[in-house]
Chains A and B, each alone.
Chain A
């Protein structure tokens, strides 16, 4: 609720107009019965047909005002609800852009998608109901109450007495529905996740003939979701008849009391009719109010899920006195130890090394030895737990994050490309790159030839998920994307794995002159990829077990030797010398 109110603030004027227009609507709905009761009391009893026609005209005027009010209401309501939804989505998206990796993993991509999309939509639906119908009910009650209190206090008290009952009902329903609704939304998340897995794993699922298993998995969650929905909707849709019944009883009470008053000649029949009309309209508005119940629990859960995004704090922060990083001369790891935020054991233990401009450092080690984690510390995807990483002698946490990352070209293991042309995808690395620079980068990344083979060449569209290029092509495009930045620190996280040997070799050859003023960090599986590096760091279970050049390591590092021997023959190893 708080969230919605905050977002309504910029639209104060529209909200005010919204309320004013509701009064216009109430005027018509309640004014017309009042006038009709006058017609009966004044016109019929006095047999004054002139009065009847005059009142008829007034009714027409009021009707027009009412209609204008309602149109205005529709306008305000649509404007406010869609604008607020847009604002919420924008803010959620902006916030997600500031997320760290830890936060991203905590929420999960598909949950973030639902939050940005579906949860914001729920809030829009709810806001619509609030602005259009929920605000109407108090206004109607207020107006009919003022109208009745003037003519008859006793009868108006009967109407008033229903109010606490209804409020009590509202609270009770809210109390019961909230937990169910929460379960339902959680289940929806899981349902989406399974469906998403079904989409992404389509080939694997089919190859393993596990259709039935997937259907069962989906159906289990689907069934749970259905049961929660059933409970929720049953609760929601029984509120309306119950409230209506309360109002009905009030009507009976009014008749009974009114009969006594008429008997004592203290009430006119026309007034009674007006009373019943007011009650009827109040009832209708209560009925509309009940739609709020249909929406509130969902909206409140959605609001909470959106708030969770806003409340989430990134552990990667920028110091107030952070300075810009302009050029990189050296990079140093000083006794770095790192554990993932939710991990117990350190992934990296006491890692130290230093590289200067123009040098290449390579990381090798078995799967799970912490190579990828190590390099992900450089662009501050995570911050070190102990020790420090320094660039030009200063801790990287003392630089502005943007300027730090601007110096880095990072090619991830799993390349992600975006919808758009190939050129746009490369230009992603550097918005100011000239056409020549883009082509050059494509050349170096060994992507030029296959790009030129595409029908549209550099203008060839990449579709969502980049399913129209192969894994190796994706990697080469992402390398070109990194190169076009002219990065001072190049990080290749096993980026050559999807390339065949020939392409791998050509690429590295072309790369060499490009990076002579940069620091190059390579994670690789193939010894041949890294044997010419200035420094090679051999990792095993997060610890340094060897550090030096290829030749030195072959002599004094058994782990390295084992890896090297597994790939190259004794002869090939020396061949390299």
Chain B
């Protein structure tokens, strides 16, 4: 799926929106930048006053004017003024630093939170279509690039604009003709910058895309670490990585080099302008139309213009990475969310748990996987779903929990279309245990409590006991306070599954979904678990996807799926009588035992 593209203007608008809450701090910072630049612009003129005064005195001394000496009183007075300017500048810079940092870092904090919240509102499809590494890179690399650019470039860019305004004013006051010569730099620089940036922008985007690719490769290779070392594929992996890495190196070299051209080209204009102004200015000084101090100040002003120009271009690589990052951040934030929900609130606490599929049609893409599914489950019944691997058993769960919406027909709980529920309310009816056990980095206690955050400690322990995992937890050195590590591989797959079962039990839902949940629990434990489950499933509607047919013999309804559609349904006995797919499936488990 293509990433949503977003215009730069909209990006900036979005960024401004994020900064809005901190406008007070930002305004102060900006005010202080103005003050800084103002005093910075006045410095050369005041320094020039000293030079002029000294030059005057020096001329007098050389020409032997009687009583000629340096007027220390005048000079000291000017120096005091200068000191004042220096202090103002330093203090205002410090204030800027503090307020700006606060505003930017707080904004970045909000952007990160927004991204985290965004992933909660994106449809599940988005995650099936996008690589994790790529999404992750938006929160880390892209936000980081943006933060760095704002932190370092904002003051400079804004300062540069002010420098132009103030400095040009000062220059005009000194000499309009010289100003005209000097100002030739600006249009020239702009042209140069524009030409270079138009080239480098593309290169930066390419660099950022390659970075995403690199990230994806790293994520995959590290994730498949086991396979790689087992199959002795280290060399191949290194080769693949080196290729992508090389591509990355080339892309970033090009981007960096091209954007680094701005600075010297702008400097060339400046140097030439300074040379011209110096010659012209000296002629004016000889003709006594200009004071030496002003010439000095004027040349300093040209440097002051050049300085931000060349600095901006030095920062431009950062700014451009930031722009590319910003596109990706706000592009993701602009991504379409799960469709809005009906606002009417349904009273879910008193629901019984009747589930009805009426002519449900569904497919992940254009093709329909389910063509016409009809199921009728009464509250408290146990429904078993069987079928060959890949027959679409998980799809039923995706639809029930509205991870995906049906394409035709409807699913009703207690007679209410599930699309008429708020998603939260709908999901609060369910508890599920997936084959792919997901636990987070935290204590075992927190992981179980995750099922119902308001649960008391004894309730958590009770749930653990029911899932037969209490004893195991007690044997761990830190008991319930044992931290699961990042990959949660300090406990076995089976133990993880028990924890997810405890978590599901704690939630105490009307409808329970067990998706191949017990496949990694050994059968001795499973037996105990089954009995626990029986207890839990009593008075609850439950959907069980299991491969051991013996465990579902006593289900109230067995659904046999094939190629996404329900091909048979009924009880164990009725299906056996039918002598259809189920019967074959059931007997195949004895077939191999006869060998």
Which of A219, A238, A269 is close to B51, meaning CB atoms less than 8 Å apart? A269
Of all chain B residues, which has the CB nearest A243?
B90
A238–B584 Cα distance when bound, in Å, is 78
Of all chain B residues, which has the CB nearest A541?
B475
Tell me if A222 and B112 are in contact (CB < 8 A): yes
A361–B412 Cα distance when bound, in Å, is 50
A366 touching B524 in the complex, CB below 8 Å, given contacts A195-B136, A252-B83, A259-B75: yes
Instruction: Confirm or deny: A3 has a beta carbon within 8 angstroms of a beta carbon on chain B.
Output: no
A207 touching B253 in the complex, CB below 8 Å, given contacts A117-B141, A464-B131, A497-B520: no
Stretch at the interface among B10-18, B183-191, B369-377, B585-593: B585-593
Tell me if A113 and B436 are in contact (CB < 8 A): no
A402–B148 Cα distance when bound, in Å, is 45
Contacts of A276 in B (CB 8 A): 47, 51, 296
Contacts of B83 in A (CB 8 A): 252
Q: Which residues of chain A from 431 to 484 have any CB-CB distance to chain B below 8 Å in the complex?
A: 431, 450, 463-465, 467-473, 476, 478, 481
A418 touching B219 in the complex, CB below 8 Å, given contacts A39-B278, A262-B70: no
A203–B434 Cα distance when bound, in Å, is 9
Stretch at the interface among A64-72, A145-153, A166-174: A64-72
Contacts of B133 in A (CB 8 A): 113, 464
Tell me if B430 and A207 are in contact (CB < 8 A): yes
Q: Which residues of chain A from 67 to 122 have any CB-CB distance to chain B below 8 Å in the complex?
A: 67-71, 73-75, 77-79, 81-83, 85-86, 89-90, 93-94, 96-99, 101, 104-105, 108-114, 116-118, 121
The interface bits of chain A over 233-260 (1 if a CB of B lies within 8 angstroms of the residue's CB, else 0) are: 1100110111011001101100110111
Of all chain B residues, which has the CB nearest A491?
B230
Tell me if A218 and B220 are in contact (CB < 8 A): no
Tell me if A575 and B220 are in contact (CB < 8 A): no
Tell me if A465 and B131 are in contact (CB < 8 A): yes
A497–B545 Cα distance when bound, in Å, is 13
Instruction: Confirm or deny: A179 has a beta carbon within 8 angstroms of a beta carbon on chain B.
Output: no
Q: Which residues of chain B from 455 to 501 have any CB-CB distance to chain A below 8 Å in the complex?
A: 472, 477, 485-487, 489-495, 498, 500
Contacts of B567 in A (CB 8 A): none
Instruction: Confirm or deny: B222 has a beta carbon within 8 angstroms of a beta carbon on chain A.
Output: yes
Instruction: Confirm or deny: A209 has a beta carbon within 8 angstroms of a beta carbon on chain B.
Output: yes
Instruction: Confirm or deny: B218 has a beta carbon within 8 angstroms of a beta carbon on chain A.
Output: yes
Instruction: Confirm or deny: A215 has a beta carbon within 8 angstroms of a beta carbon on chain B.
Output: yes
Of all chain A residues, which has the CB nearest B441?
A193
Tell me if A99 and B225 are in contact (CB < 8 A): yes
* A457 CB → nearest B CB, Å: 15
Stretch at the interface among B267-275, B328-336, B349-357: B267-275
Stretch at the interface among B167-175, B281-289, B533-541: B281-289
A85–B251 Cα distance when bound, in Å, is 12
* A570 CB → nearest B CB, Å: 13
A527–B276 Cα distance when bound, in Å, is 94
Q: How many residues of A contact B (CB 8 A)?
A: 197
Instruction: Confirm or deny: B363 has a beta carbon within 8 angstroms of a beta carbon on chain A.
Output: no
Which of B57, B152, B223, B589 is close to A501, meaning CB atoms less than 8 Å apart? B589
Which of B79, B132, B250, B491 is close to A252, meaning CB atoms less than 8 Å apart? B79
Tell me if B279 and A197 are in contact (CB < 8 A): no
Stretch at the interface among A54-62, A329-337, A387-395, A513-521: A54-62
Of all chain A residues, which has the CB nearest B249?
A86
Stretch at the interface among A154-162, A223-231, A320-328, A348-356: A223-231
Could you give 24 example pairs across A and B, Cβ below 8 Å?
A33-B299, A40-B285, A55-B278, A74-B260, A78-B256, A94-B238, A112-B218, A117-B218, A199-B119, A199-B127, A207-B427, A208-B450, A229-B147, A238-B94, A241-B89, A245-B90, A280-B300, A366-B524, A402-B232, A412-B226, A428-B231, A473-B390, A498-B547, A576-B594
Of all chain A residues, which has the CB nearest B507?
A208
A94–B241 Cα distance when bound, in Å, is 9
Tell me if B140 and A114 are in contact (CB < 8 A): yes
Instruction: Confirm or deny: B38 has a beta carbon within 8 angstroms of a beta carbon on chain A.
Output: no
A35–B271 Cα distance when bound, in Å, is 12
A159–B245 Cα distance when bound, in Å, is 46
Instruction: Confirm or deny: A188 has a beta carbon within 8 angstroms of a beta carbon on chain B.
Output: yes
Q: Which residues of chain A from 519 to 577 have any CB-CB distance to chain B below 8 Å in the complex?
A: 525-528, 531-532, 559, 562-563, 566-567, 572, 575-576
A365-B522, A369-B522, A505-B589 are known; give 5 further A-B pairs, CB within 8 A: A90-B242, A192-B140, A199-B127, A204-B432, A502-B584
Tell me if A414 and B286 are in contact (CB < 8 A): no
A204 touching B220 in the complex, CB below 8 Å, given contacts A105-B487, A497-B520: no
Instruction: Confirm or deny: A499 has a beta carbon within 8 angstroms of a beta carbon on chain B.
Output: yes
A566 touching B527 in the complex, CB below 8 Å, given contacts A43-B282, A113-B133: yes
Instruction: Confirm or deny: A52 has a beta carbon within 8 angstroms of a beta carbon on chain B.
Output: yes
Tell me if A255 and B261 are in contact (CB < 8 A): no
* B587 CB → nearest A CB, Å: 9
Contacts of B265 in A (CB 8 A): 67
Contacts of B82 in A (CB 8 A): 252
* B150 CB → nearest A CB, Å: 10
Q: Which residues of chain A from 300 to 331 have any CB-CB distance to chain B below 8 Å in the complex?
A: none
Instruction: Confirm or deny: B578 has a beta carbon within 8 angstroms of a beta carbon on chain A.
Output: no
